[in-house]
Structure 1
Amino acid sequence: MRQQSPSSWAAICVCIAALVHFALGFAIEFSVDEAHYVLYAQHLAWSYFDHPPLVGWIQWPLVTLTSCEGIIRLLPELLWILSCYLVYQVTLEVHHFIQGRNTGYLTSALPSANTCGLMAVLAIIAAPMPHVLAIGLLPDTLLAPLSLGLMLVALRWLIKDHFSIADWLVTGVLLGLAGLSKYTAAFTAIALLLIFLSNPRKPWINKLGFWIAVVVALILISPVLYWNWINDWISFKYQMAHGAGSVWLWRRLGAYLGIQVLVFGPLMILGAYLFVKHFIHGTKLSLLALLGFFVIPFVVFISLSGGGGLPHWTSPAWFCLAPFAGIGLAKAWSTQHHHLIRILFITQIAICCMGFTYVLSGGISSAAFKSNPIADLYGWKLAGQRAAELTQASKANGIAVQNWTLGSRAAWYAQPIPVFVLDARKDQFDLWFGQLPRGANILLINWSGMSFAPPVGSGPAFERCEPLETLEIERFGQILSKFDFSLCRNWQGPELTE
């Protein structure tokens, strides 16, 4: 490592990881969430049922040019690279802030800023979950660099103690874009507010620039507010119910914490612990406020996890923790504590590589369809194309699935055939394709990974369903899943409403 500077090594490691992401991006089909968000780009709107619109808007130029998964996935890759760059820059600024506010032992104990930046980037690269965000565009992929940008804004405030009009404008734009990315950006905004409040004086509240930033942020998120206003605030109602989850259980909380350690890695946790141990005193209030960019969203999601939650929801928070973890790891490295850091880093990289291999293999070690989560990433393109052909040949009114998670891949790969979700839950598909009319004939897709009995009989159902054919999906000689296509005639149920 002496042959290259720490910044060069950081760039080299990011490039190696990016090449792996690039290869995987062309090798696998869209996941359920990815397909849902590229459909956002195909159906541009002021906002959407389950998320703000930026995740769709930002993909629109690429989606209008190509349907190739690998090309469309260049966008999350660029955002991941930007996030790594911002992690490095935030680490340098935190290092500079500690140096500027301390003298004596604390300052002399600081490793070099570039070494801290390298360690922070390595902590991100060694964590499995950020690689998922680098391959597939999720709202969290957008929120991570925006949260880091707001951390830079916060550090600039802490160091300078005042803002120019340009600084306030940048703050307003970042807040607005974060609000257009995901509703949980509210937690990042609270963390930024705590930074301003950590100053005993409050000169910002009477500044014109502060109110300009507020107005800019509100203007940017106004499409979301307008769309929800004319749609009975359905996004906010959905998100509150979704965040609350189901019955709260302690075992879900324990499982969520364990998954967080696994997907973001003990290396990050060790580094954060060492930072708190060695550097939190001296500038305690300011640094504690800065740690709010991690603590606030993480604590909220952990407290809700007893009712259910997805592990990637905390991803922007972990990106914001990485600069502190980098400083802590660099401190341990500088004191010759190399052994544990090497073991954790190599172990986590090995887990990432095993994950990449498992995805490329199709999870062929799993014997049963439902036990293989990777099967979900293969076969939908072929099934969608065949469903479109059968729909046209049978002159059906469209395609139907029985769960919304099956609808996005069907709608993307069978486009422009409309897709209807046969349940009573109102969702984005109702807004895109309308409601299934009475008397309609539909091509029903049943996937082995989430199988349902055909909806025939009493209640909302068809008069009859006739099996047409079965499509088996193979990879490396083993069947991963199968798709059953049926022609269902004469929709007998009521209009599909809530």
Structure 2
Amino acid sequence: MRNRSPSSWAATAICIAAVVHFALGFAIEFSVDEAHYALYAQHLAWSYFDHPPLVGWIQWPLVSLTSSEGIIRLIPELLWVISAYLVYQVTLEVHHVIQGRNAGYLSTALPSANVCGLIAVLSIIAAPLPHVLAIGLLPDTLLTPLSLGLLMMALRWIRKDSFSTADWMLTGLLLGLAGMSKYTAAFTTFALLAVLLVTPKKPWLSTFGFWFAAGIALIVISPMLYWNWLNDWISFKYQIAHGGGSTWAWRRVGAFIGLQIACFGPLLLMGSFIFIKDCLRSQRAVLLALLSFFLIPFTIFATLSGGGSLPHWTTPAWFCLAPFAGIGLAKAWAIQQRLAIRLLLITQLMLCLLGFAFVLAGGISSAAIKSNPIADLYGWKLAGQKAAQLAQATKAEGIAVQNWTLGSRAAWYASPLPVFVLDQRKDQFDLWFGQLPVGASALLVGWSGMVFSPPVGGNWAFEHCEPLDRLEILRFGQVLSTFEFSLCRNWRDGSQAP
């Protein structure tokens, strides 16, 4: 460590993690969400049923050239590298703010800004869940560097006497791109507004630049607004219902918080606690406003988790917390409180490596384990190819599945065959492929990881289904899953008597 600068160590750590992401990107097939957003790129539109369009638009150049998962995954890998770099840069800015405004109130001197940046980067690399988003492109993968960019602009606002027109322009562009990435970018906008509000001596509401930035943001998100206007605002209605979840329960909130600690690691929490304890002595309002880039989205998601939520939704918030945690951890390291930091860092890195090995091995399949989540990452390419062959041989109208999560991989790997989801819930597949025509035949694809009763008899069902073939997916000698293919005839959509 003495022979190299902290910045060079940070760059080395980022490069090592990026190489691991690159290797894993070629080793596994698309997950359900990756395939869904890659289909966005195949069916370009102003927006989509469940998310804004940027996650599809950004993939379009590569998807139009190749179907290789490893090549397409270069996009999330690059976004992760940019996010890690921004964590380092934001840490330097936060360090400068603390030293300039808080120096007289610190119990001990802070380590150098570069050391704080290195530890902030290491705390992100040691967090297990962000590696998933570094390999698979999700809207949160996009929102993470954009949120860090807005946090950087907030720090620039605090440090500078006034914002230039270029600063406002960049802020508006970042806000617009964040809105085109995911609707929850609104939470980051609230955090930026909090920073503006705690600096009352700097006028902003009455300035041309602020309204110029707001205009730019509105122009950038206008395609998404236009599409929703044409489609009866279905995306907003879906997200409101999706965010509300099911019946609210405290136990879900507790499970969510426990899962967050497991997914992002206690190292970030430890560093944040030390930062709050030792660095919030002066200019507390300003630092709390900066911390709201984590606090606002995390609090909202934790509250919504009582009805149900997904752990990766908070990823941009944790990345925005990392610079503060890095400063706290560096401060603890400087005063010889190193054992706990070493243990947590090594433990989290070992868990990440164990997770990588678990994915490459295909998980564990045994009678003692009810489900193997890793099995979902293997076999869909073979199943899609076989489904396409069988559908062509039987002259079926397309492929049928009984849940949208099965439809994404079927549509990607059996492209350009239409895929029909056999439910009464409107979703993106209805916009892409329409409804299965009455009286039509379809190749039904079933997967052992999500078993349904055959859709035969009654309303919203086929007249009969005939089994055609079966495909076992093997990984290092163990059976991960099984696909079953059936030809189903004479579809009834509920308008006919059974």
Structure 1 residues 446 and 110, CA gap change in structure 2 (3 angstroms):
same
Alignment of 1:264-279 (within 5 A): 264-279=264-279
User: In structure 1, what is the Cα distance between the partners aligned to 2:14 and 2:245?
Assistant: 36
CA contact (8 A) 2:365 2:371 kept: no
> Pairwise mapping of residues 20-419 of structure 1 onto structure 2 (< 5 A)?
20-106=20-106, 109-367=109-367, 371-419=371-419
Conserved 8 A contact 1:256-1:302: yes
Instruction: Give 1:370 deviation, angstroms.
Output: 5.0
Q: How many angstroms apart in 2 are the aligned matches of 1:109 and 1:73?
A: 42
d(CA) in 1 for partners of 2:387 and 2:260? 38
In structure 1, give the amino acid aligned to 2:186.
A
1:262: how far off? 0.3
| Structure 1 CA distance for aligned equivalents of residues 8 and 350 of structure 2 | 23
Quick one: distance in 2 between partners of 1:425 and 1:320?
Answer: 36
Q: 1 CA distance for matches of 2:392 and 2:67? A: 21
Contact kept, 8 Å, 1:370 with 1:450, in 2: the verdict is no
Deviation of residue 2 (structure 1)?
1.1
Stretch deviating more after TM superposition (487-496 or 348-357): 487-496
**Whole-Å separation in 1 of the counterparts to 2:151 and 2:311:** 22
CA distance in 2, matches of 1:431, 1:107: 60
The separation in 2 between residues aligned to 1:380 and 1:362, in whole angstroms, is 13
CA shift at 1:454, angstroms? 1.1
1:426 corresponds to: 426
Task: Confirm or deny: 8 A CA contact 1:75 1:137 kept in the other structure.
Answer: yes
1:9 Cα shift?
Answer: 0.6
Q: 1:9, 1:251 → 2: CA distance?
A: 42
Aligned AA for 1:117? G
Q: Please give the alpha-carbon distance, in whole angstroms, between the structure 2 residues aligned to 1:279 and 1:371.
A: 46
Name the SS for the 2:339 alignment partner. Answer: helix
In 2, Cα distance between equivalents of 1:265 and 1:304: 21
**Shift of residue 161 of structure 1?**
3.4
Deviations, residues 244-293 of structure 1 (Å, cap 9, x unaligned) = 00011111111111100000000000000000011012110100000010
- The 1-side partners of 2:310 and 2:486 are apart by 33
For the residues of structure 2 that align with 1:385 and 1:306, how far apart are their CA atoms?
41
Alpha-carbon deviation of 1:212? 0.5
**Would the aligned equivalents of 2:245 and 2:309 in 1 still touch at CA under 8 Å?**
yes
Per-residue deviation, residues 343-382 of structure 1 (Å, max 9, x unmatched): 0000000110110011000013444785100000000000
The CA RMSD over aligned residues, in Å, is 1.2
Equivalent-residue separation in structure 2 for 1:189 and 1:82 (angstroms): 20
One-letter amino acid of the structure 2 residue matched with residue 475 of structure 1: R
Amino acid at match of 2:485: F
Structure 2 residues not aligned, in runs of 5+: none
Contact 2:459 2:495 (C-alpha < 8 Å) held by counterparts: no
Cα distance in 1 for partners of 2:154, 2:459 equals 57
CA distance in 2, matches of 1:210, 1:104: 34
Q: Is the 8 A contact 1:369 1:481 kept in 2?
A: no
Q: 1:206: how far off?
A: 1.3
Q: How many Å apart are 1:3 and its aligned residue?
A: 1.6
CA distance in structure 1 between the aligned counterparts of 2:368 and 2:336, rounded to whole angstroms = 48
- Conserved 8 A contact 1:474-1:480: yes
Partners of 1:108 and 1:338 lie apart in 2 by: 16
How far apart in 2 are the matches of 1:168 and 1:48? 29
Q: Would the aligned equivalents of 1:120 and 1:322 in 2 still touch at CA under 8 Å?
A: yes
Measure how far apart 1:199 and its partner are.
1.1
Change (3 A) 1:97 1:444: same
Aligned-residue offset at 1:99: 1.3
Q: How far apart, CA to CA, are the structure 2 residues paired with 1:91 and 1:492?
A: 60
Partner secondary structure for residue 104 of structure 1:
helix
3-state SS in 1 of match to 2:49: coil
CA distance in 2 between partners of 1:69 and 1:103 (Å)? 49
CA contact (8 A) 1:437 1:495 kept: no
Partners of 1:286 and 1:311 in 2: CA distance: 28
**Secondary structure in 2 matching 1:161:** coil
Per the normalisation by structure 1, the TM-score is 0.98
Is the 8 Å Cα contact of residues 435 and 495 (structure 1) preserved in structure 2? no
Q: What SS class does the counterpart of residue 106 from structure 2 fall into?
A: helix
CA contact (8 A) 2:38 2:56 kept: yes
Identity %: 73
Flag structure 1 segments of 5+ consecutive residues without an equivalent: none
Checking the alignment, whether the CA contact within 8 Å between 1:369 and 1:448 is kept in structure 2 is: no
Q: Which amino acid aligns with 2:391?
A: T
- How far off is 1:108 after superposition? 5.5
Q: What SS class does the counterpart of residue 487 from structure 1 fall into?
A: strand
Is 1:2 aligned to residue 2 of structure 2?
Answer: yes
User: Structure 2 counterpart of 1:438, which letter?
Assistant: V
Per-residue CA deviation, residues 384-410 of structure 1 (Å, 9 max, x unaligned), is: 000000000000000000001110000
Query: Is residue 105–residue 282 contact of structure 2 (8 Å, CA) maintained in 1?
Result: no
Structure 1 match to 2:456: 456
Separation in 2, partners of 1:227, 1:370: 42
What TM-score comes out, normalization by structure 2 length?
A: 0.98
The aligned residue for residue 18 of structure 1 is 18
Give the residue type in structure 1 aligned to 2:326.
G
AA paired with 1:258? G
- Partner of 1:457: helix, strand, or coil? coil
